[in-house]
């Protein structure tokens, strides 16, 4: 089965004013669709064509760079849409909040460290909250890499990710990545992040 562009669970305008409708529409229908199309083309007719995205990520060093870039782009964006919600923001429920307090000192310190990882990712990439065994860690990756990949510096299950490619924020925020990241906290779907932590 070829990979498909996932439908969003909310309208393109639903995250306004934090993330603008035009950016959401272009990001989803153009950027994410291109990753899906290019991934399917890169896998067509090969032995990896019917493997899961997670299996592909775990073996990405053995595969062409087009699979790494576009497979990562598809996985990362699919997750990105899911960890945001028009009803997002605020504080996570006690189970996740307790974990964040335990590993980072406090919820505010977690947000500071996560934002710092996103701010200091040079060029294009992602910042992640990752479950590694029983621990939670913060990391960042270049381009469309992610912690599921066998090439990742910090490996594990990503449970929260933020896109810091300029196409994710440039129409509204131009070069003000810090303002985009501050707005991101207003739309984080903590219920989804908590669910991912339990997987």
| pLDDT in single tens digits along all 199 residues of the chain | 699 999 999 999 999 999 999 999 999 999 999 999 999 999 999 999 999 999 999 999 999 999 999 999 999 999 999 999 999 999 999 899 999 999 999 999 999 999 999 999 999 999 999 999 989 999 999 999 999 999 999 999 999 999 999 999 999 999 999 999 999 999 999 999 999 998 7
Whole-number Å distance between alpha carbons of 181 and 134: 27
Closest CA to 74 of 149, 139, 173: 149
pLDDT of residue 134: 87
pLDDT of residue 199: 75
Query: By the 8 A CB rule, do 164 and 125 touch?
Result: yes
Return all residues near 168 (Cβ < 8 A) that are at least 6 apart: 23, 27, 180
Whole-number Å distance between alpha carbons of 125 and 165: 6
pLDDT of residue 97: 97
pLDDT of residue 181: 98
């Amino acid at each position: 089965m070829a990979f498909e562009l996932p439908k969003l669970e909310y309208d393109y305008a639903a995250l306004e004013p934090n993330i603008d409708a035009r950016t959401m529409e272009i990001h989803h229908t153009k950027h994410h669709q291109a990753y899906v199309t290019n991934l399917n083309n890169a896998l067509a007719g090969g032995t990896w064509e019917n493997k899961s995205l997670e299996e592909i990520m775990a073996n990405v060093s053995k595969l062409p760079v087009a699979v790494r870039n576009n497979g990562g782009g598809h996985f990362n964006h699919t997750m990105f849409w899911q960890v945001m919600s028009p009803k997002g923001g605020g504080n996570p429920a006690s189970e996740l909040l307790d974990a964040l307090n335990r590993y980072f000192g406090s919820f505010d310190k977690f947000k500071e460290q996560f934002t710092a990882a996103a701010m200091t990712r040079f060029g294009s990439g992602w910042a992640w909250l990752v479950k590694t065994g029983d621990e939670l860690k913060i990391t960042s990756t270049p381009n469309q890499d992610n912690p599921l990949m066998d090439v990742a510096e910090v490996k594990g299950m990503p449970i929260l990710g933020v896109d810091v490619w300029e196409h994710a924020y440039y129409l509204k925020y131009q070069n003000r990545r810090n303002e985009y990241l501050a707005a991101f906290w207003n739309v984080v779907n903590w219920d989804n992040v908590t669910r991912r932590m339990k997987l």
